[in-house]
A and B are shown apart, each in its own frame.
Chain A
Amino acid sequence: MHPVLKLLTQRIALGLVLMLAASVMIFAGTQILPGDVAQSILGQSATPQSLANLRAELGLNDPAWLRYFRWLGAALQGDLGTALTNKQDIATSMGLRLGNTLFLAFWAALISVPTAILLGLIAVRYQGRWPDKLISGVTLATVSVPEFLLGYIVMFYLAVKFRAFPSVATVYDSMSLGEKLNAIALPVIVLVLVVLGHMMRMTRAAILNVMQSAYVETAELKGLRPFTVIARHAFPNAIAPVVNVVMINLAYLVVGVVVVEVVFVYPGMGQYLVDHVSKRDVPVVQACGLVFAAVYIGLNMLADVISILANPRLRHPK
């Protein structure tokens, strides 16, 4: 078997095992309470009858492993169960919200990835001089402020002071693409700022690492212009680490979206999750956790797959 193929199968198999293990963790995470879920949902004042009813409804009378396999089996067939609070089918209410969240994350990624790579290249080109220091300083500031505060700062200045964009990101199906983009402008700006800092710093580190190698020194000694050295010699070799950086940050974006959606009251997965955590609606929380974890693990797996494919040393087996 070709070594690249072997590595790829191994990595994908590992990803699938991780997803399975993550589902166990998410399920177990709601079972570690000393009492039981029904008690904590209804509170101390619940009557024995209502407790018994809820236990029966949640299937709590069966052993945990049986409930786990029942839950996982149903989830694999697209049935995520029904919400405790409003008795609605979780998969249906989630579908629309997942689309909204991906829409938001897509635009954030589309803007942040090229910007981060470009800024990283500029920082490397002017390493140690003022453009590098300026970019590093600004990105350090953006990663030192939590997402939700960044959200309110952006909202305060762009929506309230300058009235450039709406402060609340409500989207409907009937809106045109332009209207939708105007509505999500602020959350996209915040997400871009959040991931840009991390992504730019990691890109800078990855390219600097390549810049220290011998062939780059040779290219410099040939008398090539600094930007040519970076674009022609350093960047192609930095693709694998940079792709990795991008994917890790896209995975990070999936989590950042949770908080940013709450700030801008955006009807996505994040808000759905947070709402139902406070309502102690365990089936919804488990379902959302499962989807978030799957996306996160999937993106990390994709990052490794791409860097395996992009690594020129693996293409020619000895």
Chain B
Amino acid sequence: MMRIPISALIGLTLTALYFLGAIFAGLVAPYGMAEIVGDSWEPASAAHWLGTDSIGRDLLSRMIWGGQVTIFVATAGTILSFVTGSVLGFTAAVAGGWIDQALSRFVDLIMAVPALIFALVVLSVMPVTLPVLILVMGLLDATRVFRLARAVAVDITVMDYVEAARLRGERRAWIIFREILPNALSPLVAEMGLRFIFMVLFISTLSFLGLGVQPPLADWGGIVKENKEGIVYGIPAALIPAIAIATLAISVNLVADWILNRTTSLKGGRGG
């Protein structure tokens, strides 16, 4: 039986709760996503645990439905960035030579422009839909995964067993998926947690700016935007997503730290 430290246990439990809430939003949420059930900004009560929002929708239901959208977009974006980033990163490390140079310089170039600014530039001409958002965020973030995957794989490609596989005459795909991937998994999984959080922050920021998830669909950044006028009247409805985002971010971080600490030998680009 593996011993799981208490901080990682808390992180795992909270993360699991958020994901379960997102998957079963239809069962958990007391009201519908866009159902108007009361006056605007009613205080918390037995019927509405978190009160109601700017146009009288139940805030708790909206948070749960919003969590579903936020977590779905962030998960899809993370998967996209991981598949693209790690496959290209491993390819660069294994192939070396001009392929490595071309890919690495291209990634340097994309990272030279801040991701948010580039996303805004692209979104000014793109239709703002969920697939486009996932695509833009996932591909922009793939650059960071690429760097980590390449750094980790460069350390692994000099190992004897990779050399042995090369001498056996295995193809490049075999070397990448059967020799490198299993050994590079744990720094990548830890990084996945951080990238996931980054995605949550990214999509929330875009939605808050009105350039992400479009109403009436809810998401955590959008809930802030919808309720921000209440702040000046002392109504804290817009602050509730802060609690959700921060607890999710911290719990995923705790899990990622634990995974990373279990394997101290391979930290890739993350340093000591």
Contacts and interface: CB of A to CB of B under 8 A. Distances in A.
Interface stretch (A119-127, A145-153, A173-181, A215-223): A145-153
A6 interface: no
A97 interface: no
A205 interface: yes
Contacts of A273: 117, 120
A255 B246 contact: no
B112 A276 contact: no
Given A293-B113, A296-B113, A141 B118 contact: no
Interface string B199-243: 001001100111100000000010010001001111010110110
B178 to A, nearest CB: 35
Nearest to B271: A205
B231 A141 contact: no
A159 B234 CA distance: 10
Main secondary structure on B side of the interface with A: helix
20 contacts: A25-B110, A26-B118, A26-B121, A29-B121, A30-B124, A144-B245, A144-B253, A148-B204, A149-B204, A149-B241, A152-B238, A167-B231, A167-B232, A280-B125, A282-B125, A285-B124, A289-B113, A289-B120, A289-B121, A297-B112
Contact of A152 (B114, B116, B124, B242): B242
A140 B232 CA distance: 28
Contacts of B80: none
Interface string A7-45: 000000000001001100110011111000100110000
Contacts of B232: 159-160, 167
Interface of B: 108-110, 112-114, 116-118, 120-127, 197, 201, 204-205, 208-211, 221, 224, 228, 231-234, 236, 238-239, 241-242, 245-246, 249-250, 253, 271-272
Contacts of B108: 18
A232 B109 CA distance: 39
B126 A255 contact: no
B127 A40 contact: yes
A278 B211 contact: yes
B126 A277 contact: no
Contact of B246 (A141, A259, A297): A141
A301 B208 CA distance: 31
A155 B272 CA distance: 38
B120 A32 contact: no
Given A152-B239, A293-B114, A262 B204 contact: no
A103 interface: no
B199 to A, nearest CB: 12
Contacts of A255: 114, 116-117
A274 B245 contact: no
B112 A293 contact: yes
Interface of A is mostly: helix
Interface of A: 18, 21-22, 25-26, 29-33, 37, 40-41, 140-141, 144-150, 152-153, 155-156, 159-161, 167, 205, 209, 251, 254-255, 258-259, 262-263, 273-274, 276-278, 280-282, 285-286, 288-289, 292-293, 296-297, 300
Contacts of A276: 124
A155 B234 CA distance: 10
B122 A149 contact: no
B239 A18 contact: no
B122 A146 contact: no
Nearest to B272: A209
Contacts of B221: 146, 148
Q: Looking at A140, A159, A254, which has the most chain B CB atoms within 10 Å of its CB?
A: A140
B141 to A, nearest CB: 15
Contact of B121 (A30, A156, A160, A209): A30
Given A259-B209, A274-B209, A292-B117, A145 B124 contact: no
A244 B76 CA distance: 34
A37 B116 contact: no
A98 to B, nearest CB: 14
Given A144-B253, A153-B239, A285 B120 contact: yes
Nearest to B240: A149
Contacts of B122: 29-30, 32
B242 to A, nearest CB: 4
Contact of A258 (B116, B121, B231): B116
Given A148-B208, A297-B113, 14 more contacts: A22-B112, A26-B113, A29-B121, A33-B126, A40-B125, A144-B250, A146-B201, A148-B205, A149-B242, A152-B238, A274-B209, A274-B210, A277-B120, A277-B123
B236 to A, nearest CB: 6
